[in-house]
Amino acid sequence: MAVSEDSDQPSPSNKTTTDDDHSLVLDLSKDDPLFEQKKKLLQEKGFSPTERVYFSSSSCFACVNTTLETLLHRARVIHLNETELYFGEMNIDPPEEFYSPRNELEALNFIISLIDISLENCIHEATSFLQDLRSAAVQKVCDFGEKYKFETRTVENVCDKEKLLLQWAQSNGVKSRLRIAYVEDAGRGALAVEDLRIGETALEIPVSMIISEDLVHESDMFHILEKIDGISAETMLLMWSMRERHDSNSKYKIYFDTFPENFNTGLSFGVESIVALEGTLAFEEICQAKEHLHSQYDKMFPALCDSHPEIFPPEFYTWDQYLWACELWYSNSMRVMFTDGSLRTCLIPVAGFLNHSICPHIMNYGKVDSSTNTLKFPLSRPCRAGEQCYLSYGNLSSSHLLIFYGFLPQGDNPYDLIPLEIISDQESCFSEEGYSTSDSTTHMVRSTWFSKNHGIFHYGLPTPLLNHLRKAQNPCASTVTRANLENELEVLETLRSIFDAMNDGFGPVEDHWESHTWDVKLAVNYLYMQRRIVSSNLNSCDEGSKMVKDLWVKCMAEDVRG
Ligand SMILES: C[S@@+](CC[C@H](N)C(=O)[O-])C[C@H]1O[C@@H](n2cnc3c(N)ncnc32)[C@H](O)[C@@H]1O
């Protein structure tokens, strides 16, 4: 299920102001659940939670760029999510800052909307500076997008079913600046018909086109389903869609006709591919997900078909059809906030053709616009005519994408995290800051190539994890003394043994997997990615140990010299 990025992000309209002295204010909201950690990080960088950035109305190229950089440093921190914050601390020194594509795009879009608000209220002499500042921010978004651009190869232009769906959607009020085509390795995708600029709407869907729980409520199965103890709206929607897809009179027939016979997600993996995943997170998750779905199915079937065969015809409610519906909803649904404040899982015709990227064009799409009663998909970065327009399905790990969507994203995924359960006798030094709640702390690692800081006391590893282990062995640790260096070596040894055990737990990498089925190929690719993450951490431990040993030898030599 895709989740828009705007759900827990600060909104620019009530967090920013301007004043007559030509300044912009970036305010870290006290309502932010990560307020304390962000405030601490801002202070470590020499900023306060409410920062006024001054500019002069006589704009020059250098002033514009300096102002933009200053704004960006703060905006990045304001827009960090919990994971980025966990890994972010290591970039304090050196000051080079980059947290994730998501964070960079959110921060730049936040600044652009802040400038737009200011331009609406601004006095004449500041206008030109603000316009230049806006252009510089937009250019930065474009340059950033170019770095992450993945070329789309169109393998086939759209076929009849998709054409029919677009025509039907447009006749029902859908406004689209996208066309649908078959793209390499991703089924169908949505391509921009014309150049789309930042802030413009690529797609607009009237609420009347959205499939949500309302349709179940109106159907003849609702009075039966509502009597099932603890049944969720999502399960009801599964039941509804299992029958609806076969109904030739359905209002959504044209839409259902566009779905494939098989979704090929991890939930359909065969035994060979599941075995290939052994030792990885995905192995545990896939087994749990399958077990859960089987038990859900067994609770309802064949009982419902036996008691109400006219409403639940047995041929539509087999295990295979249930799995198909689960895969449909997991891979195509989106969470939408309606104007009454309700948050619902929905299927959205046409929007369901948008593929996912870790550097998407569309990030904030989850709220129905009350003035138009439509769901809009605005661009957070520009998309050129013919380019594939990508959505963010949320900050999802590759194991989640593999299991519930059946693909692995292009590029390095900053949300590929490996949790580490580290038990210590002492309370964690990060407990007040929310990283841990008790002696048993879940820390995590990801590929260390995301880190810019591989120096002494950092090694590309997350600072909260290192501090936790240092705390466990020796409180207060990052100055170069013999005792601290010995402690560092112990910390790195501990981590090395954890990563070694992970590596040993993985199954063998196959040599000739090209000849295998789709699921084994995906599983082996995933396994390969996991191995790379663990080996990047092992390398960091080894290089860190070497660096610490060299320094230790120097310290010893100095001690001997007195
Ligand atoms: C919401 S649908 C997107 C449209 C889909 N490609 C289609 O043909 O219907 C989600 C599915 O698209 C595919 N998909 C999405 N993003 C992808 C990507 N970046 N690479 C490969 N496949 C992707 C996966 O099969 C996923 O389950």
The mean pLDDT value for 268-272 works out to 94
Give CA 85 to chain center in angstroms: 14
Structure confidence by residue, pLDDT tens digits, 281-329: 999 999 999 999 999 999 999 999 999 999 999 999 999 999 999 999 9
Radius of gyration in angstroms for the set of CA atoms belonging to the chain, rounded to a whole number? 26
Residue appearing with tokens 């102002």? 67
Q: Which helix (H) or strand (E) holds 465?
A: helix 463-473
Predicted pLDDT of residue 216: 98
- Expressed in angstroms and rounded, the spacing between residue 222 Cα and the centre of ligand 1 is 31
Which CATH number fits the domain 208-405, given the four candidates 3.30.70.360, 3.20.20.70, 3.30.70.660, 3.90.1410.10?
A: 3.90.1410.10
Percentage above 70 pLDDT, the chain: 89
* Residue/partner pairs of 464-467 with CB below 8 Å, 24 or more apart: 464/86, 464/89, 464/430, 464/435, 465/420, 465/422, 465/495, 466/491, 467/429, 467/430
Task: Using most ligand atoms within 8 A of CB, pick from 162, 392, 405 the residue to mutate for ligand 1.
Answer: 405
Beta-carbon neighbour count of residue 363 at 10 Å?
25
Q: Is the CB of 355 under 6 A from ligand 1?
A: yes
Of 543, 413, 358, 463, which is closest to residue 91 (Cα–Cα)?
463
Distance CA 155, CA 187 (A): 9
pLDDT, residue 59, reads 66
Q: Would you state the pLDDT for residue 176?
A: 97
> Cα(188) to centroid of ligand 1, in Å?
7
pLDDT in tens, 452-491: 889 999 999 999 999 999 875 555 566 778 888 999 999 9
Could you tell me the fold of the domain covering 418-561? set domain protein methyltransferase, domain 2 (3.90.1420)
Q: Nearest-5° angle of CA 211, CA 215, CA 217?
A: 145
Range 30-47 average pLDDT: 91
Beta strands, E only, 292-388: 333-337, 343-347, 368-369, 374-378
Q: What is the pLDDT of residue 60?
A: 82
The Cα-based distances of 133 to 12, 26, 74, 240 in angstroms read 17, 15, 16, 51
What is the 485 CA–ligand 1 centroid distance (Å)?
Answer: 49
pLDDT digit string, tens, across residues 184-236: 999 999 999 999 999 999 999 999 999 999 999 999 999 999 999 999 999 99
The fraction of the chain above a pLDDT of 90, given in percent, is: 72
Cβ of 184 closer than 6 Å to ligand 1, yes or no, is no
Range(s) of the chain covered by CATH 3.90.1420.10: 5-147
pLDDT in tens, 534-556: 999 999 999 999 999 999 999 88
Give ∠ CA 354-359-361 in degrees, rounded to 5.
50
Closest CA to 150 of 420, 441, 361: 361
Separation of CA 186 and ligand 1 centre (Å): 5
For 5-147, CATH gives 3.90.1420.10
| Residue from 184, 356, 412 to probe ligand 1 pocket by mutation (most atoms less than 8 Å from CB) | 356
Q: How far, in Å, CA of 543 to CA of 58, rounded?
A: 50
CA of 449 to the centre of ligand 1 (A): 27
Q: Is the CB of 185 under 6 A from ligand 1?
A: yes
Taking 90 as the threshold, does the pLDDT of residue 400 lie above it? yes
Q: What is the pLDDT of residue 213?
A: 97
| CATH 3.90.1410.10 domain position(s) in the chain | 208-405
For 198-210, write each residue's pLDDT tens digit. 999 999 999 999 9
Instruction: Please give the Cα distance from 46 to 318 (Å, whole number).
Output: 61
Neighbouring C-alpha atoms within 13 Å toward the C-beta of 249: 0
Mutate to test the pocket of ligand 1, among 152, 185, 263, 355 (most ligand atoms within 8 A of CB): 355
Q: Given the CA of residue 352, which atom of ligand 1 is nearest to it?
A: 1
Ligand 1 centroid vs 139 CA: distance in angstroms?
A: 29
Phi, psi of 202, deg, nearest 5: -85, -30
Which atom of ligand 1 is found nearest the CA of 2? 1
State which ligand 1 atom lies nearest to the alpha carbon of 357: 19
3-class SS string, 213-253: HHHHHHCCCHHHHCCCCCCCHHHHHHHHHHHHCCCCCCCCH
Q: Is the peptide bond before 302 cis (omega within 30 degrees of 0)?
A: yes
**Alpha carbon nearest to ligand 1 atom 24, residue:** 405
Ligand 1: does its nearest atom lie under 6 Å from the Cβ of 356?
yes
Judged against a pLDDT cut of 60, whether residue 85 lies above it is answered with yes
Return the higher-pLDDT residue of 154 and 240: 240
Kindly report, residue by residue over 423-460, the tens digit of the pLDDT. Answer: 655 443 333 333 343 445 579 999 999 998 899 999 99
Predicted local confidence at residue 148, as pLDDT: 83
Q: Give the chain's length.
A: 562
How many whole angstroms from 263 Cα to the centroid of ligand 1?
A: 10
Q: Is the CB of 352 under 6 A from ligand 1?
A: yes
How far apart are the CA of 62 and the centre of ligand 1, in A?
A: 43
